Amino acid sequence: MRPLIVLCIWGGVCALAAVPSFVIAREQNFETLGMVSGVVVFVVAYTVISGSPGFRRTWGHDRAFRIAMFISYGIRIAIGVVYPLGFLVDLIPGMMSVGIVERLEVPRWTFINSFLTTLIQGAFLSVVFAFLTWLLHVIVRRFVRSQEPPRGFAVVPITPER
C-alpha cells in the first residue's frame, strides 16, 4: 500500500480510537493541542511500522495476521465509538497516565502535560491491542492457511554407515 493511504488509514483508526479519551480529557481541561499532537505521533509511528519490510512481508504472506489485525483494530474502533464502553476501556489507562505525569511534576493544564499523558496512555493501549492482535493471530492461524510458500529445502537426516 502507498504510504499516504496507510497514513490516512492509521489517522482514521487513531482518531476514532481517541474519541473517548479526548472527550474525558477536554472535560478535565487538558490542552487540546497537546492531545492532538500525541495522537499524531501514534499515527506517524504506526505508519512507519506498517511500512517496514518485516511488517509488509508478514502482511503480504500471513493471512491470519491480516485477519487478526482487522479484528483487533476493528474492536478498538468499535469500543471507541460505542458509548459508554469506550469511556470505561480508556478510563484506567488514562488515570494511570495522569498519575505517571503527575509524578514527573509537569505543570497541569499545559501542552507538555497533555502531550505526555496522551503518549503514555497511547503506549498502554497499544501494548494491550498488540497483545490482543497476537492472541487473535494464534487463534486465527489454527483455522486459516497462510499464503506463504514453504521456504528452504527438505532436511534429510544422515545416518552414519556401520
DSSP 8-state symbol, 55? H
**DSSP-derived 3-state class of residue 155:** coil
Q: How confident is the model at residue 146 (pLDDT cuts 50, 70, 90)?
A: low
The tens digit of pLDDT for each residue in 98-117 reads 999 999 999 998 999 999 99
Is residue 148 over pLDDT 60? no
Is residue 162 over pLDDT 70? no
Mean pLDDT of 112-133: 96
* Residue 93 preceded by cis peptide, ω within 30: no
Q: Residue 149: its pLDDT value, please? A: 60
Is residue 50 over pLDDT 70? yes
For 16-54, give the DSSP string. HHHHHHHHHHHHTT--HHHHHHHHHHHHHHHHHHHTSHH
Sign, CA torsion 147/148/154/157: negative
Q: Which three cell numbers stand for residue 32?
A: 487540546
